[in-house]
Every structure is written in C-alpha cells, then in structure tokens.
Homo-oligomer: A and B are copies of this chain.
Amino acid sequence: MRFASPQDAAAAILAGNVRAAARLMRMLDDRIDGATATLRALYPHTGRAKVIGITGNPGSGKSTLTARLIGHYRKLGMRVGVLAVDPSSPFSGGAILGDRIRMMEFANDPNVFIRSLATRGALGGLSRSTNDIVHVLDAMGHDVVLIETVGVGQDEIDIVRTADTTVVVLVPGLGDDIQAIKAGILEIADIFVVNKADLDGADRTVGDLRGLQTLMAEMPDWLPPIVRTVAARNEGVADLSAEIERHGVFLTTSPTRDRRAQNRAAFAIGGLVRESVGQSVNTWLRDTAAGRQLVVDVTARRVDPYLAAQTALTQAVPHNPQLLP
C-alpha cells in the first residue's frame, strides 16, 4: 500500500482502491507529509458528489436520520460517503465515544463508506479536515456525501459551509427551541427537519420556525422548507430527500449559484491560511526563546496582547509560510 508518488496514490484512489483512500484519510488526520500532495492531485476530480450537511442539537435524532438517508440513497443505487464529525475535545484530540451505532448496519455495504472525525484543536483544523475528507469521498466516486455534526455552534456552522445543502434537525418539546434557533441555525439551514414529529409540540416547533422565518429582514431567494420526519419509523425520509433534490435544482439554476460557490472557496482558502498561520505562531511562541519571553511578558502584563500579536505576526509567520508539503 505504499505508492511511489502522490500521483500514484491519487490514481489508485480514483480507480476505486478503498484501502488507498482510507490510508490517505489517516495520513491527513496525522498531517503526514505527502498527504496534501495526494489531495491536490485528486482535487481536479472533485465536485461531482452532492454534499449534504446534517446538523442539530444532541438528542435530535440526527444519527438515525442520517442512517435513514443512507438507506434511501442506497435503494436508489447510489454510492454514499458519510463523514461523522465529533467536535469533541480540544485536548485529547479524540472523541470518547466516536461510533454512531445506527450507522453500523451499513458497515458491510461496499457502497457505503463511513468515516469518523474528531476535532483537531482550536485552530480551525476541524473544518480543514472536513474539507479534506469530503474531497477524498467525492473523488472516490460517491454520488452523495453526508456530513453529520454534533451540535449547532460556530464549529458546526463552519463545517456545514462545506456542504451544498444544509439540513438542520430540530425536535419538539426539548424546551430550548428558541435558544437553539438563536444559535445561528436559522441562517445556515437550507432545509429544516422537525424530527420526532409524532411528539407533542411538533406543531408549535413548526409554527415557531415559520414565525421566525417571516421575521427575517431580508427575504432570500430560497425559503427553507420545513419537513416533518419520524426517523425512528422511517417516516418523512422520502419527503426530505425530495426537498434536498429540489434544493439541488435551485443551486444549479439560481442566479446566486456562482456567488455561493465563490464564497465557499474563499472561506476554504481563508481557513487554510488561518490554520497555517496559527500553527506557525504557536510553534514560534513555544519553541523559540523570543516567543517564550513574549508569553511571559504578556502574562506579567509588561506587554499587552495586541503588541505581542503584532510581534508574533512579524516574527513567526515569515519564518514558516509553507502550506504545501
């Protein structure tokens, strides 16, 4: 499984070698030299998969819904890649409980590739890793790539920017409807799902969403539909799939299509730069005498953080501006 060159590794992945793809993902996880070169060789072959982000609060039944969507697309004969993201620990770099049990039924389906991803720390690395792995799943020839994230914080918002279509899953009766809606999800959702729609309060949740949509200052060209599902009983999944399809048609015909794609590209570029610079600065602060002294001076309040940041930017970044392997 060693390849003579990144181009050879990319060719194997494009030819359907799943082990080569899994190996590349591990190398990307560990930021091993050469991984980015392989990814770059794959990049021209990406852009064919339909990328669907699925997010929502813990307990909303996202994993079950994701499993149902996998089943739905498999019945249509499509190949499905899944990226399950755990924004877990900033310290241990891994999830305590990483596996999504309900997806295990697809573990032996050669047309379903499931990958878990834990956070890479606080440097924006999670959205970089997400982007990287989505590119690999795309290049592997999956027709659909599902990205499932835990929670609705800024990290999830960054992650779902990778997706063509973002599905936000709510659940009635948790008592935090309004707080969840505050957390930015109203504006990242292309489609709302009210899951567990057989529970009391489903009508109220749908009504709350409709009410908030009318409050939005700017009426967008796409009004996110609200789909009711009971994922545990596989109800409403076809409706959801139809809305995803309708959103895909919107994306390819909308006058905002190019702007959306460009915003996404600019976001990806900015994220890579921020991460690279953040790593350079961290390394400089930790591994040089000048950097360590600067940290001590800020801690003692002899130097303020703004001046220190200016110094770190000037000193650290020119020394290590290499993003490419």
Contact = CB atoms under 8 A, between A and B. Distances in A.
Interface string A215-254: 1010000000000000000000000000000000000000
Interface in A95-109: 95-97
A323 B314 CA distance: 10
Interface in A63-108: 86-92, 95-97
Contact of A304 (B40, B262, B304): B40
A278 B278 CA distance: 10
A308 interface: yes
Interface stretch (A18-26, A43-51, A140-148, A199-207): A43-51
A96 B267 CA distance: 24
Contacts of A187: 89-92
A193 to B, nearest CB: 17
A151 interface: yes
A184 B119 contact: yes
A285 interface: yes
A255 interface: no
Given A90-B188, A174-B174, A324-B310, A59 B299 contact: no
Given A58-B57, A306-B323, A309-B323, A266 B278 contact: no
A150 B131 contact: no
A122 interface: yes
A184 B88 contact: yes
Given A150-B179, A266-B285, A268-B305, 17 more contacts: A36-B306, A43-B301, A59-B174, A89-B187, A91-B184, A92-B187, A96-B182, A96-B212, A97-B178, A124-B124, A150-B182, A154-B155, A269-B281, A273-B281, A274-B278, A307-B324, A310-B323
